[in-house]
Structure 1
Amino acid sequence: MITVSAPGKLMLMGEHAVVYGYPCLVTAVDRRLTVSMEEAADGEVTIDAPESNNTRFVAEAITLGTAAWGINHHGLHIATKSELGNYGLGSSAAATVATLKALAVLFQKEISDRELFELGRRVVVAVQGNGSGFDVAASVWGGTLYFADGGKTIQPIELEELPLLVAYSGVKADTVNLVAAVAQKRKQYPERVERVFESIGKLVLQAKEALMKQDWERFGKYMDFNQEYLRDLGVSTQKLESFISAAKHAGALGAKLSGAGGGDCVIALATKDKKQETRNALEEVGGEVLELVPNAEGVHP
């Protein structure tokens, strides 16, 4: 029996623009998805995933992984266990990466992180039709990453800390429809939307420099600017805005939605002296503050 786990993710900056090749910043979180795998003799591939709806990603990972690595087997028994819940923390990517890594370890295939990433992205695209790959990268490498050029550039950013609070809105984001809505807006207003994407791309570059210096005041301002562009794209909601406003009034240096929008999570940058006040403010407006730590370790047995 081989057991492998991969982390979930939080998008820090660059939502939606990343779909069109612009850069983003993403961090892995310490909530993980675990895959256990063993060979069987019944000729069947069985997947037991009681806590998630990621069996399609697991099954596709097995299909593409066995083909890519020339693996012949007489059956596999696979079980997953997830700490990621339905919070929009990248469970599909984590399931994909953990399954591929477990398959490689079980059949003693030496693969690089880059190979794992490329195959993982292929799995995600095969299942859902698109995918920029930043979530797969977070599950593979872990830590905090600068992701650019459609994944050609993946740069780890060394951080001692990342003082984030994460609040779930209680609403599940419909990522596929939100991405499609932004695509439609881009088709209707190509110049205007492209200008927004270009501005987000520039912000990400500036935020990367602030992050590397751990200049939290500057990074918080860039988060706020990014949120303004996400409002322009129409992916924020009244509920998310109430969370952001509450966090800012409580002393957070920056706050924004994380992910596709429409629901899921808000992230707030709160230093130690403002952390409890910010937490209280988010809970008072209905936020479920998640106990998780960013900048977590990548996939490992």
Structure 2
Amino acid sequence: MPNKLNTNPSQNLHSQAPANTMILGEHSVVYGHPALACAVDQYVHIYWQTRQDTAIHIYSALGEHHTQTDNITAHPKLKFVIKALQAFQDDLPCGLDIRIESEFSSTIGLGSSAAVLAAMLSGLNNLCQTQYNLIDLFHIGHKIIVDIQGRGSGTDLAASLAGGAIYFQPKTEKHPLVNIQKLDIQLPLILVYSGYKTPTSEVLKQVATQWQDKPNELAMLYRSMEKETRTAFKALTEENMQGFYSTCNSYQQLMTDLGVNDETLQNIINSLNSCQSIHTAKISGSGLGDCILGIGNLKSCPTQVENSLSNYQQISIDISATGAVTETV
């Protein structure tokens, strides 16, 4: 392990990573099928200052933590931050002051944990001069996600690391290499938060219980999801937007068939679909709460619909072409 006493002048860095949202591939991606996701223009910022000693001081709205480079201790609300530091522990050149800020609330479904992790990985890769590429950083981060959550495809991490809209193929027996393919598209997006969430792990358990006597039917449903995701990807590459919107509608029906839609989510979808300026609306994420993704804007909505949607937290966002980056300040 290198000497952590830094005799160089203090170095200041700024890392930022975009939030993210799923477009297609929810549920099926957990079982090795592809997904479409995107980075969006809300950001996590991390400010780094190197120290002359071996102390690590972390400041965040979620918590404050003080530890040492040779023994990086855990913190219950900073799990992704600590795991990232531990992954780079052998290469840390010195102690650090780390300040984490976010432009968005962790309550709305913008993949805040993955954005924080992406910004941490970018900053540590720079500080430690490890020169890992996008796929290397994804593998380090995906291991951290699985360590903390027990499972997870890492689609959200891939989007926050890469930026833009991405087609993501997780590693499987059939696909031994992870594929993160960027798409040069811009889509106006709106997220409407239902006001409640069911943890993804709980949703997955409910799905498993509901389908435990119908494994073949469930596998067929996931294959249908894969087909719609691939069709949507092809439509986007051909700039066939009507075809893309149609596959989003089809995927939403598959989410309903899976059992992860509910009355509140469907009411939001119906409201969005009655706006002429919304092209399609669907669940974004695992379902049974959290967010509905609308593609378009709310400029042409009936007054009654505007009033109905005003009961929910909304955020209008655009795709962020930039992924996780770090610069000297």
Whether TM exceeds 0.5 here: the answer is yes
SS in 1 for 2:153: coil
Give the percent of matched residue pairs that are identical in Structure 1 and Structure 2.
31
CA-to-aligned-CA distance 1:87-125 (integer Å, 9 cap, x gap): 121111111111121112123221211111111111111
Match of 2:73 in 1: none
Q: Select the structure that is richer in strand.
A: 2
Range 277-286 or range 134-143, more displaced: 277-286
Q: Alpha-carbon deviation of 1:178?
A: 1.0
Q: Give me the whole-angstrom Cα distance separating, in 2, the residues matched to 1:171 and 1:193.
A: 26
Whether the aligned pair in 2 keeps the contact of 1:145 and 1:154 (CA below 8 Å) is yes
Pairing partner for 1:64 from 87, 100, 109: 87
Match of 2:294 in 1: 268
SS in 1 for 2:36: strand
Runs of 4+ in 1 over 4 A off after TM superposition: 51-54
Aligned residue runs from structure 1 range 1-301, under 5 A: 1-51=12-62, 55-66=78-89, 70-85=90-105, 86-150=107-171, 152-159=178-185, 161-251=186-276, 252-270=278-296, 275-278=298-301, 281=305, 284-285=308-309, 286-301=311-326
Whether the aligned pair in 1 keeps the contact of 2:92 and 2:128 (CA below 8 Å) is no
Q: Alpha-carbon deviation of 1:62?
A: 0.4
Distance change (3 Å), C-alpha of 1:201 and 1:166: same
Q: Alpha-carbon deviation of 1:56?
A: 0.6
Total equivalences in the alignment: 294
CA RMSD of aligned residues (A): 2.1
CA-to-aligned-CA distance 1:54-85 (integer Å, 9 cap, x gap): 5110000000122xxx3144432211101231
**What TM-score does the superposition give when structure 1 sets the normalisation length?**
0.90
AA at the equivalent of 2:275: A
Structure 1 segments unaligned to the other structure (5+ residues): none
**What TM-score does the superposition give when structure 2 sets the normalisation length?**
0.83
Q: Alpha-carbon deviation of 1:277?
A: 2.0
AA at the equivalent of 1:157: L
Q: Select the structure that is richer in helix.
A: 1
Whether the aligned pair in 1 keeps the contact of 2:26 and 2:284 (CA below 8 Å) is yes
Whether the aligned pair in 2 keeps the contact of 1:31 and 1:83 (CA below 8 Å) is yes
Q: Alpha-carbon deviation of 1:163?
A: 3.0
Whether the aligned pair in 1 keeps the contact of 2:93 and 2:127 (CA below 8 Å) is no
Q: Give me the whole-angstrom Cα distance separating, in 2, the residues matched to 1:204 and 1:139.
A: 20
Q: Alpha-carbon deviation of 1:129?
A: 1.3
Q: Which protein is bigger by CA-based radius of gyration?
A: 2
